[in-house]
Homo-oligomer: A and B are copies of this chain.
């Protein structure tokens, strides 16, 4: 019809669907009807659905260009990298689901971030094997932190679902699950987003710094 069908455009529409209706709603056939095209048309641009999701992931992280090397210490640069990645992922609610379904090694824009993290880990004095572990761990944590329960989210039935979960926790036997019952509110409500982020990043980086200082 109007705009030409392109791999880029397909990925963008897929992300819109995934963000608003969940990744399960991103279906080849649904996507095709949305784009005013036959399902098989998508197979010209992506080999299969897995590659489509890789395309979504690449478009997702593509918005984040790690800053060039500067003169700050590795701790500060690692923190900046982590916070930047979190901010980028936070834009798309379905980011975590997308990244879970594929091998990150297949996503070019992810490789750029990973390479930078590896360099900083080496700079911190970690060996090759340790740097691999640390960066995998760091990136995975960033993805998890980005997936925070957004406080004032868009979904209309969210308040009701949260209430149900809280009631569910509160009605547990107090003797077996004393802390869950007591903290049911904060557990399901989520916390102040700002606290959530800084606290999460602090936790990861503190761990890395502690290990770095131990050698």
Contact = CB atoms under 8 A, between A and B. Distances in A.
Interface of A: 100, 103, 105, 111-112, 114-115, 118-119, 122, 128-134, 137, 140-141, 144, 165, 168-169, 172, 176-180, 183, 186-188, 191, 195-196, 199-200, 202-211
Contacts of A179: 115, 118-119, 122, 131
Contact of A200 (B103, B133, B180): B133
A140 B144 contact: yes
A199 B137 CA distance: 10
A3 to B, nearest CB: 31
A105 B168 contact: yes
Copies in the complex: 2
A160 to B, nearest CB: 15
Contacts of A210: 206-207, 209-210
Contacts of A111: 172, 177, 180
Nearest to A180: B115
A203 B122 contact: no
Contacts of A137: 141, 144, 200, 203
A186 B132 contact: yes
B133 A199 contact: yes
Nearest to A147: B140
A13 B213 CA distance: 47
